[in-house]
Amino acid sequence: MPRTPTLAIAASAPGPGAAHGGGSGFGYRTRPLRYWTGGTPRCHLRVIEGPEVRATAVTKIDRIDAIIIDVPTVRGHVVSMTTMLTQSVVLVRVRFSDGSEGLGEGASIGGLSYGPESVESVKLAIDTYIAPALVGMDADAIATASAHMEKAVKGNPIARAAVECALWDGLGRRSGLSVAQLFGGRVHDRLPVAWTLANGNSQTDIEEALRMLETRRHRDFKLKIGKRPVKQDIAHVAAIAAAVGDRGTIRVDVNQAWSLTEARYGARGLQEIGCVLIEQPVARDKLAALKALTDGYEIAIMADEVLQGPADAMRVAANRSADVFAVKVCQSGGLKSASDVIAIARAAGIDLYGGTMLESGLGTAAAIQLFATVPEWQFGTEMFGPLLLKDEILAEPLEYKDFSVTVPQGPGIGVTLDDDKVNFYRRDRRSR
Ligand SMILES: [Mg+2]
């Protein structure tokens, strides 16, 4: 008996990398249908031809792979807790049942000296706990996948963020939409980008700052301090502030190194020399000390390490313990959680700063996609991660010019990896 073709709209749409005309997994033949004429299709509807209508062609999460790469930095990056000569990040590739893929990244700064997660722990959490919990799930149901991840893995926001980013990238690629579009659409084409001066030497930092100003790459400078006595740090910041003058702004990041008494002395001295912001001056669990500084001085106090997701953001906002939030996708537990942190800050009248965990171009681009959807970044961003690396792992580098970075175009996160570079820098290459 001849079959009469019937039509159904598939639950997921094919995108780049999807096998058009391939099987749906249920014995039906599928082909793409452009539902408007002209231009590049933003979305496909799939016509399912078969003996009966069953819109069950759900795209599934097939496989999750995580690798560690180690890329040398352009110079030693001296922070209060360590000196970085290499940045290590975890790259995540999620493969979906329709042949599409999604990419994500998890990064931290200085191994376990910065926080409770390292790239090694991120890979372990993904391989051992997250991947088994997610494989077989609906690829488009990111909120459900995130809830599963939170159930399977307590804490570990960087590991969860790396996988969640890859799910958003996959959804974007399949639907033909950028992550920024999935989060409401961008309001910025470019975002201002600060540079971190962290040579550990005033003269070298000044030369670097002047180079950045001359080449119009950066005009906002964050100085990593907290390793030396406070008085020496203030003299160091004063020398750089004097050299930069009105051409830029000076901020400092103490990375939790000060006691409250040191921080009071530091805040007084730094605001007198024109520094505009102090980032995480005291330990992340010293919320009362952070609030005392916020209330006691005109200089802006920024929360960074204390913000490990929306619940922390709520705690800080409830007591207004900081003037500014450094929003980090990895530290927040993913793009959606970072979006929630941003919403809490905006509702509480707390200013915003787009923070980095020194991600490579992939993780940096993912954050930029979200940050581009936020109307105001009062203190700009520091999305310079790839510029600190000696080599580029993206096929097409992010564009930095005129003190800002361009928001990538294209579906998903909007970038692709240079597979040869990734293979060269992957840690397990040495043992193969
Ligand atoms: Mg910081």
Distance 309 CA to ligand 1 centre (A): 15
DSSP assignment of 302-360 equals EE-TT-SSHHHHHHHHHTT--SEEEE-HHHHTSHHHHHHHHHHHHHHT-EEEE------
Which of these, 350, 358, 411, 315, lies nearest to 107 by C-alpha position?
A: 358
Q: What is the signed CA dihedral for 120, 117, 302, 230, rounded to 10 degrees?
A: -80
The answer for residues whose C-beta is within 8 angstroms of residue 60's C-beta and 6 or more apart is: 96, 97, 136, 137, 138, 139
Rounded Cα distance, 428 and 49, in Å:
45
221 CB neighbour count, 10 Å cutoff = 23
At residue 11, the pLDDT reads 40
Which of these, 139, 177, 132, 144, lies nearest to 58 by C-alpha position?
A: 139
Its sign, for the CA torsion 171, 175, 179, 182, is negative
At residue 56, the pLDDT reads 59
Distance 286 CA to ligand 1 centre (A): 15
Distance 367 CA to ligand 1 centre (A): 16
Distance 20 CA to ligand 1 centre (A): 45
At residue 15, the pLDDT reads 40
294 CB neighbour count, 10 Å cutoff = 23
- The residues annotated with a catalytic role in the active site are 224
Which of these, 228, 227, 287, 282, lies nearest to 260 by C-alpha position?
A: 282
Distance 30 CA to ligand 1 centre (A): 49
Which of these, 20, 23, 42, 17, lies nearest to 102 by C-alpha position?
A: 17
Residue 339 amino acid letter: S
Distance 252 CA to ligand 1 centre (A): 9
Domains of the chain, earliest start first: 1-57 (no CATH), 61-176 (3.30.390.10), 182-416 (3.20.20.120)
Distance 31 CA to ligand 1 centre (A): 49
For tokens 């707390």, the residue is 350
Rounded Cα distance, 172 and 168, in Å:
6
pLDDT in tens, 165-202: 999 999 999 999 999 999 999 999 999 999 999 888 99
Rounded Cα distance, 62 and 54, in Å:
21
Q: Residues, the chain, total?
A: 432
> Can you say whether residue 185 is alpha, beta or left, with left for phi > 0 and alpha for psi between -120 and 50 degrees?
left
pLDDT tens per residue across all 432 residues of the chain:
444 433 333 444 444 433 333 333 333 333 333 332 333 444 444 444 554 544 558 999 999 999 999 999 998 888 888 888 999 999 999 999 999 999 999 999 888 888 889 999 999 999 999 999 999 999 999 999 999 999 999 999 999 999 999 999 999 999 999 999 999 999 999 999 999 998 889 999 999 999 999 999 999 999 999 999 999 999 999 999 999 999 999 999 999 999 999 999 999 999 999 999 999 999 999 999 999 999 999 999 999 999 999 999 999 999 999 999 999 999 999 999 999 999 999 999 999 999 999 999 999 999 999 999 999 999 999 999 999 999 999 999 999 999 999 999 999 999 999 999 999 999 998 655
Residue pair 175/13 in contact (Cβ under 8 Å)? The answer is yes
At residue 83, the pLDDT reads 87
Distance 246 CA to ligand 1 centre (A): 24
Beta strands 404-406 and 190-192, pairing class? antiparallel
